[in-house]
Amino acid sequence: MPDTSLLPEDAETLTRLEESLWQAETRYDPVLMDRVFADDFFEFGRSGRVYTREDLILPASAAQPIDVRLPLPRLKFTVIDTHSVLVTYVSEVRRESGEIERANRSSIWSRQDGAWKLRFHQGTPFQT
Q: Between 49 and 4, name the one with better pLDDT.
A: 49
Residue 2 has pLDDT above 80, yes or no: no
Each residue of 27-48: pLDDT tens digit? 999 999 999 999 999 999 999 9
The pLDDT value recorded for residue 13 is 98
The pLDDT value recorded for residue 84 is 97
The pLDDT value recorded for residue 128 is 76
Each residue of 69-111: pLDDT tens digit? 999 999 999 999 999 999 999 999 999 999 999 999 999 999 9
Phi, psi of 45 (to 5 degrees): -70, 165
The pLDDT value recorded for residue 3 is 53
Residue 5 has pLDDT above 90, yes or no: no
Which pTM was predicted?
A: 0.92
DSSP 32-75: HHHHHEEEEEEEE-TTS-EEEHHHH---GGG-----B-SSPTT-
